């Protein structure tokens, strides 16, 4: 499914660490101490809305489910929060965030809340490595 016209939006690149590539999407991680946070970006140039993907919305759905299950198993979270917002960065991207009833913002959504405290770099890298293995993402 490669789309040679696609490249990761520079703002997403700046805000995240890459986990790896799935069949359709690049999987990224955001360093937020209390909110294990992954982002799927379908490697499709010019996709802004989910509906822009056409039939590629289905493999994206499968990847959301795969990443959801992996994140739930790794974090033992109480709830997953999934969102495609894109008001600031238009390139289609889907947030998948693990929430716990004891986290500081519960039950409020975390989308649009900035800045959030970060965890230390080594811990974040271990999290990214665990996610990569769990979902079988190809390292970049």
Considering only the stretches 7-15, 21-29, 85-93, 120-128, report the one whose residues sit in contact with its own copies under the rule CB under 8 A: 85-93
Shorter beta-carbon distance to its own copies: residue 13 or 57: 57
79 binds its own copies (CB under 8 A): yes
90 binds its own copies (CB under 8 A): yes
Helix axes 121-135, 57-75, angle to 10 degrees: 130
Q: Is 47 exposed, middle or buried (0-12, 13-18, 19+ CB in 10 A)?
A: buried
- How many Å apart are CA 62 and CA 25, to the nearest integer? 11
**Interacting residues of 121 by C-beta distance below 8 A, sequence separation 6+:** 31
65 binds its own copies (CB under 8 A): yes
Positions in 94-123 near its own copies (CB under 8 A): 99, 106-109, 111-112
- How many Å apart are CA 82 and CA 18, to the nearest integer? 19
Contact residue for its own copies among 45, 62, 121, 138 (CB under 8 A): 62
For its own copies, the binding residues (CB under 8 A) are: 48-51, 57-58, 60-62, 64-65, 68-69, 72, 79-88, 90, 99, 106-109, 111-112
């Amino acid at each position: 499914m490669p789309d040679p016209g696609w490249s990761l939006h520079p703002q997403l690149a700046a805000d995240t660490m890459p986990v790896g590539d799935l069949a359709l999407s690049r999987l990224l991680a955001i360093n937020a101490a209390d909110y294990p946070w992954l982002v799927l970006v379908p490697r499709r140039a010019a996709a802004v809305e989910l509906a822009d993907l056409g039939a590629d919305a289905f493999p994206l759905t499968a990847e959301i489910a795969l990443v959801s299950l992996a994140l739930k198993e790794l974090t033992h979270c109480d709830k997953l929060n999934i969102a495609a917002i894109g008001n600031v960065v238009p390139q289609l991207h889907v947030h998948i965030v693990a929430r716990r009833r004891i986290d500081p913002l519960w039950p409020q959504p975390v989308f649009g809340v900035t800045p959030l405290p970060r965890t230390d770099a080594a811990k974040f890298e271990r999290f990214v490595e665990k996610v990569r293995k769990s979902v079988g993402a190809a390292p970049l």
